[in-house]
Structure 1
């Protein structure tokens, strides 16, 4: 499994995942930029994602849903707030209604993804920033920590295909 560490920091209001992959930074970047690749790993294996929209530019939007084992759908959105290709991007994200419109603004978060070369591979760090300890705890209780770990665990399989 590529996840080498997970850190929940209540004081800093962050949830951080660090994973390493046997691929170049540019290749790992494509896993975020290409919606067909992104939907193969975003979400745990039992809740696969479908991206209806991904405009990977500053101020660009993403609209997606994850489908559960019973057919239930959980919708989400992103707004990309910064890009430094191929090493870093930032985005706001949260829950959405069936049309992709943001709902429950108290549960939106800010994500920062960095990709750094490590030997012949890449270290990916994903940090989610929250507004309060209660929000962080609520998202962990909804399965964010476990789900992201499982999601990241799918990336090696995608990278091995190329």
Structure 2
């Protein structure tokens, strides 16, 4: 039986209710290695992670299996985003556990840059509904839009 999936074109995410997942994809104008750095180096993550587009107040990453990632937004009442890395395969794969879900970031080459695919897998249908209700899909889509904009080279800039 095919999975029930819904897509919100305005936000560019797919919800698969049977698999309890939210999937998102963005194309970046940087190499796979550069995209991996954008996901794993605090100096970069702090610039694009918050859906508001504001830099994070705090960003720490212990990039090893079992290592913690912790991101704190500025001026909002949201709790910090805290997780632990489950699997790391540079420069193409990051898997972490956060908010009782598993997040998988897959980075692949494409003409002119890289493609980043994110899958957020909730443990069950109730958890998925809860994530959707608090805006995880919409917020993650905005965060990835921020990443896409941040990854575009600026004039005179070559070290992203």
Whether these two folds match at TM > 0.5 is yes
| 8 Å CA contact 2:45, 2:59 repeated in 1 | no
Q: Match for 2:31 among 24, 32, 37?
A: 24
Q: Match for 2:90 among 70, 85, 88?
A: 85
Structure 1: gaps (5+ residues): 95-107
Residue 153 and residue 42 in structure 1: after superposition, are their counterparts in 2 closer, same or farther (change >3 A)? same
Q: Which residue of 2 aligns with 1:38?
A: 45
TM-score, length of structure 1 as denominator length: 0.81
| Alpha-carbon distance, 1:4 to partner | 9.1
Instruction: Note the aligned Cα RMSD (angstroms).
Output: 2.0
| 8 Å CA contact 1:13, 1:132 repeated in 2 | yes
| 8 Å CA contact 2:27, 2:148 repeated in 1 | no
Structure 2: gaps (5+ residues): 1-9
Number of residue-to-residue matches in the alignment: 145
- Structure (1 or 2) with the greater strand fraction: 1
Q: Which residue of 1 aligns with 2:4?
A: none
TM-score, length of structure 2 as denominator length: 0.82
Q: Which residue of 2 aligns with 1:100?
A: none
| 8 Å CA contact 1:67, 1:73 repeated in 2 | no
1:131 equivalent to 2:131? Answer: no
Q: 1:84-119 CA deviation, whole Å, 9 max, x = no partner?
A: 10000100012xxxxxxxxxxxxx111111000011
| 8 Å CA contact 1:113, 1:127 repeated in 2 | yes
Residue 120 and residue 46 in structure 1: after superposition, are their counterparts in 2 closer, same or farther (change >3 A)? closer
